[in-house]
Amino acid sequence: MFDKPRFIISFILGNQPQSRTLEHDSETLAPVEAEALVKQTFPELKGASMTDVQVQKRIKPDESDNVPRHYQQP
């Protein structure tokens, strides 16, 4: 599956919901840690004031164009 666990970090920034996908070494990620990691990884968010930070662990890989859909034959 993944080399490292992946997480979706959702947050509110300037009254707009946003999210980022990140890899992290640990199996769990606290919202406070996630906020710091997002600010380190994405320079445009370095000084941002984020609220309502939520973390969700990804358990399925991203589907790319070569993954068949329900209406396509493999």
63: in domain: no
Q: Is residue 1 part of a domain?
A: no
Report the number of distinct structural domains present in the chain: 1
**Quick one: pLDDT at residue 1?**
45
Residue 68 lies in a domain: no
Q: What are phi and psi of 49, to 5 degrees?
A: -105, 105
Span 16-52, pLDDT tens digits: 999 999 988 888 899 999 999 999 999 998 888 899 9
Q: Is residue 65 part of a domain?
A: no
Average pLDDT, the chain: 84
Model confidence, pTM: 0.73
Per the structure, the complete domain to which residue 16 belongs is given by 6-58
Any domain includes 73: no
Number of helices (H), then strands (E), in the chain: 1, 3
| Alpha carbons 51 and 65: distance in angstroms, whole number | 34
State which H helix or E strand residue 37 sits in.
Answer: helix 31-41
pLDDT tier for residue 73 given thresholds of 50, 70 and 90? low
Please name the residue that has the structure tokens 């969700």: 56
